[in-house]
Structures are given as structure tokens and as C-alpha cells.
A and B are shown apart, each in its own frame.
Chain A
Amino acid sequence: MECEKIRELILDYSEGDLNQSDKLGVEKHLKECKECNIYFEQSHKVWNLLDNWHTVQINNDFIPRFWDRVTTEDRKKGNAFDFFRNLRPNLVSGGVGVIILILVVFLVNILVSHHDNIVFTEGDRSDEELLIEFDRSITKETAESLEIYGPWSDEIEENKGG
């Protein structure tokens, strides 16, 4: 048998799980092959070496702490459910309030707009045109009247100085 095949069987061999012919085959190979023999030994050694990593010490209150954790989580969940449960009636009353508010605003708006009803007549239009014309002429005059103080260029400043 090849070395690789033997090494695969070594686990079963050391646990006594091989059939008779495989067992004899492994034993025969181990007598002849130095490398597989070393592997067989090391495989055992490394398996036993793992025992040096000891178990961890555990606190005695593991189980009571577990139940405390369950209780805390359940309480938190309960609180969340209570919030949603309370939220439902709150949402209904809140919704009704908002609808009432909208209706009030709507009615007030109708009443107020009824009093301030503006009718835009042909006379109003001509008044507005007059006002626009007046505004333009003022702007123009204002700009022209300001010319008496100018033009304020550097040239004039120089002439005054000269």
C-alpha cells in the first residue's frame, strides 16, 4: 500500500476500526516504512499534546444568570409591545384631532375669504396703469436730478485741481 493511503487509515487503525486485511496491511507497512512509522508516532503525540490545553473554569451562576437574561429580554420585549399597544389608541385620537383641526381651518378660511372678497374692475386696472406710469417718471426724474452732482470722474477732479 502507498504511504498516503496508509496515513489515511492510521486514524481508523489506532481506533481499532479497520477490517482484518487493512489492519494487517497497515501493520506490515509500518514495519517496513520508517516515514510512516514516524507519522504514526507523531499523530499520536500531537493528539495527546492537545490535552495540555485545559478546560476553562466556569462560574457557578451560569444557569441563574441565563434566566436573569431571559427575564430582562422578556421585559424589554414587553415594554416594546406596551409602547405599540399604547400607540394604537394614541394614533386614533391623534388622527381624529388632526381631522377636526383641518375642518376648523377650512371653515375659518371660507368665512374670512367671504369678507375680503375683492372684485377687480376696469377702473382698478386703469388706476394701476397710472400708478406704474407715475413710478417710472419719478425714477427717471430722480436719476436726471442727480446729474447736477456729477459726473464724478477723475478727469473733473483733476481739472478742479488744475
Chain B
Amino acid sequence: MQTFVSLSRTMESDIELMLRAKTGDDSAFTELMRRHYKGVVNYVYRFTNDRANSEDLAQEVFLRVYRSVKRYNPQAKFSTWLYKIATNLCITEVKSRNKNQTVSLDEMQENTGDLGDSKSEDPSNLTFRREIGTAIFEALKSLSERERVAIILCKYEDLPYEEVAEVIGCTIGAVKTYVHRGRMKLIEKLKTYL
């Protein structure tokens, strides 16, 4: 019986979990976070290129979802709602950082990217990974907000065009245009690596 209950729990959709969370069931919210936190942390990281603060910002995203769980209306997919909140937070964060840009280059290098298994990895490989990571981040940063969101969500978060359209608040055709334009600009920016 218990196996059946736990099995049915694992089959629960995000919306069902969210509806349980709405009634005050924190274990349902924990399950939602378990499913999505890696995606959200990485999404924030692609936006900010700041390894040290990505988890904090991602927690802020979940905190906002948690605080507004009572107002949740299951009209859209949970992940759409989640990425919409994350996008707004990231854009605000990036804007405020651009205003108070006091991070030194050394600090940026220190906070940039996943260092992986830096002890066992070939140093030249590690340097290349850091370099390419920064180059991609800078190239993405030069795109318009919508192009950037569209490319990060499609490429890194693997979201379908329909969902990206809902996150941005545009049509599917517009998302494809953003991705196309973004790719064209990225070719220009990253041509030394092609």
C-alpha cells in the first residue's frame, strides 16, 4: 500500500504538487524544488555568469513562488510560471549590477563558471573552458533581452517554443525570430571559435 502511495506521489504532476503546496503541504513544495532547482540555478548562472551568487538568486526565485503559492492558479505550466519569475528577477539583477559595476576582473574570473574537478582536469583544458564560458556569456550579453532569454531557455533549459513564448509573452513565431536573430549575432561575436 505504501509502495502504491509513494509510486502515485512520484507520478504527481507539478500542478498537483503545487495544489498540495497551496494547502500548506511543504513536502509537496520540496518535491517541486527537487525537480526544478538545478534548472533554475543554471538559468540564473547563464544570465549572471556569477557562480557564487546563482544559488542565492535561485533561492530567491523559489521563495517568491513559495510566498505566492496561495495565489497560484493552474492555468499555465508550473515551469512557465517558475521561469517567468526567474527571468524577471535575473533581468532586475543584471540591471542593478550594470548600475553598480564594482566587481573587479579578478573577482569575475574567480566567480566565473563551473570549475568542475579542477584538481584532476588538465589546466589548459580548464583555462579553455573558462575562456569559452566567458566568451559565450559576453556574446549572449550583447543580444537584446528577448533574444537572450529565448536562446538561454531553448538551448540550455530545453524549453519548447510554446513555453518560451509564454515566458516572454509573445507568439511562437516571434520566439523563432529571436532565436534566429540571436544566432546570427552569436556567429559574429564568436566567429574566432567557429
Contacts of A43 in B (CB 8 A): 183-184, 187
Q: A8-B177, A12-B176, A69-B63 are in contact. Are A57 and B114 (CB under 8 A)?
A: yes
Tell whether B54 is near chain A: CB-to-CB under 8 Å: yes
CB pair A56 B132 closer than 8 Å: no
- Is B155 within 8 A of A54, CB to CB? no
The answer to whether B55 and A58 touch across the interface, beta carbons within 8 angstroms, is yes
Does B97 lie at the interface of the complex (its beta carbon under 8 Å from any beta carbon of A)?
Answer: no
Q: A11-B176, A11-B180, A63-B30 are in contact. Are A56 and B186 (CB under 8 A)?
A: no
Restricting to A55-95, which residues have a CB under 8 Å from any CB of B? 55-59, 62-63, 65-67, 69-70, 73
B4 at the interface (CB under 8 A from A): no
Given known contacts A52-B129, A53-B132, A63 and B37 CB-to-CB distance under 8 angstroms? yes
Complex CA distance for A73 and B156, rounded to whole angstroms? 32
Q: A7-B184, A46-B190 are in contact. Are A66 and B155 (CB under 8 A)?
A: no
Main DSSP-derived SS at the A contact region:
helix
Q: Which of B26, B37, B66, B155 contacts A50 (CB 8 A)?
A: B155
Cβ of B21 within 8 Å of any chain A Cβ, yes or no, is no
Interface size on A, residues (CB 8 A): 29
The reply to whether A53 and B136 form a contact with Cβ atoms under 8 Å apart is yes
- A152 part of interface (Cβ distance < 8 Å): no
A70 to B33, CA, bound (A): 14
Min CB distance, A48 to chain B, in Å? 10
**B33 touches which one: A11, A59, A66 (CB < 8 A)?**
A66
The answer to whether B193 touches A62, judged by C-beta atoms less than 8 angstroms apart, is: no
User: Are B133 and A54 interface neighbours, CB within 8 A?
Assistant: yes
Q: Within 8 Å CB of A12, what residues of B?
A: 176
Q: Quick one: closest B residue to A43, CB to CB?
A: B183
Known contacts A58-B38, A66-B63; A11/B113 CB under 8 A: no
Tell me the minimal C-beta distance from A32 to chain B in angstroms. 21
- Name the CB-closest residue of A to B191: A42
Decide if A46 touches B186 in the complex (CB within 8 Å): yes
A58 to chain B: closest residue by CB: B41
Does B42 count as interface, using CB distance less than 8 angstroms? yes
Q: Could you tell me which A residues sit within 8 Å of B by CB distance? A: 7-8, 10-12, 39, 42-43, 45-47, 49-50, 52-59, 62-63, 65-67, 69-70, 73
**Could you list 10 examples of A-B contacts with CB < 8 Å?**
A8-B177, A42-B191, A52-B132, A53-B137, A54-B114, A56-B54, A56-B113, A62-B55, A63-B37, A67-B30
